[in-house]
Amino acid sequence: MRQQEPLRRSRGFSMIELLIVVSIILIIAAIAIPSFLRSKMAANEASAANTLKQIGTASILYSSQYGVYAPSLAELGPTGGPCPIVGPGCADLLDPVITGVDPPTATPEKSGYRFTYYSTPPNAAYAVVATPLLPGGTGVSTFCIDSKNVYVVWKDTSGLTTTATAAGCAPTWTIGGTVGPL
């Protein structure tokens, strides 16, 4: 008569144990991902507001140097291509990404926001609006800065106001609880 061998436990995990571990990982991910996305949007919004402040400072410097505001963001950008030396065509006050010089575009994008510059001849005023590329994804709020209030960044948390005029932010931005200086 053969003696029975004791049952051996296989090395590894049972299917139930693996399902429990995967479930725990999915629960943690479900909690962490929305927080990560909110913090990413907050970082994009802070970057957009800071970029507008940089544009405002560069515009003041350009105006003090050349007597008018720049006709476009590109004029605030670096030298190169058709503009070999610093001058009114390329004042070298901002980086090439935000001025739309590299890559070439009239509405540059940075940190999930698109920047639109408004100016009309004789360049006595300007406004810049930052709108999220994907509302609710890259940001919620829109921002605006203009030549009337150079150091004030206007914020619209409703995400509805997305334009301005060369005259400034305030005429086209709704007045109410969702709009105000940042």
Report pLDDT for 166. 80
Instruction: Give the tens place of pLDDT for each residue, 27-47.
Output: 998 888 888 889 999 999 999
> 51: buried, middle or exposed (CB in 10 Å: 19+, 13-18, 0-12)?
buried
Residue 139, classed as helix, strand or coil, is strand
Among 55, 133, 138, 65, smallest CA distance to 97 is for 55
Predicted confidence (pLDDT) per residue in 67-99, tens digit: 999 999 999 998 876 678 888 888 999 999 999
The whole-angstrom separation of Cα 81 and Cα 75 is 13
Cβ(90)–Cβ(83) under 8 Å? Answer: yes
Q: Report the candidate in 117, 92, 96 with the shortest Cα–Cα distance to residue 106.
A: 117
- Each residue of 127-177: pLDDT tens digit? 999 999 998 889 988 999 998 887 788 888 876 777 888 878 866 565 444
pLDDT at 176: 46
Q: Distance between CA atoms of 106 and 171, rounded to whole angstroms?
A: 23
Q: How many Å apart are CA 175 and CA 8, to the nearest integer?
A: 76
Chain-centroid distance, C-alpha 138: 7
Q: Any idea which of 98-102, 103-107, 162-166 has the lowest mean pLDDT?
A: 162-166
Q: What percent of the chain has pLDDT over 90?
A: 45
- Considering the entire predicted model, what is its pTM? 0.80
Give the span between the Cα atoms of 54 and 15, in whole angstroms. Answer: 57
Per-residue pLDDT at 177: 43
| pLDDT of amino acid 175 | 45
On whether the CB atoms of residues 76 and 58 are closer than 8 A, the answer is yes
CA-based torsion, 53, 142, 117, 176: positive or negative: negative
* Cβ burial 121-131 (10 Å sphere, 16+ → b, else e): eebebbbbbbb
DSSP lists the bridge partners of residue 146 as 127
